[in-house]
Amino acid sequence: MKKSQSKTHNILSIRAIIDDAKCFQTVRELRWPDGVCCPHCDSRSVVKYGRDETQPERQRYHSRSCDRYLDDLTERFSKGIISH
């Protein structure tokens, strides 16, 4: 009897997101592969604006176009995959 070999395609390696820093970095890379973009106005005129007090690996940003603040999880993947 032959064993069938199943192919699995993992999107993420568990080791790549084992701690908060690596997890948030992976979120950033997946969410903004071409650089940070404001989910409110779609502008790329976004600058880093400190870190979250409770989750220090969570980056905050400020959109210079619409004057709003966002972070790594603000309206996460709102263009399709995951929504609040």
Domain ranges, ordered by start, for the chain: 35-75
As a whole number of angstroms, the distance between CA 17 and CA 55 comes to 15
Residue 41 is classified by DSSP as T
What's the pLDDT tens digit per position in 44-57? 999 999 999 999 99
As a whole number of angstroms, the distance between CA 40 and CA 4 comes to 48
Report phi then psi at 58, rounded to 5.
-85, 110
Spans in the chain with pLDDT lower than 50: 1-2, 4, 77-84
Residue 72: CA count within 13 A, CB half-sphere: 19
**0.75 cut: is pTM over it?**
no
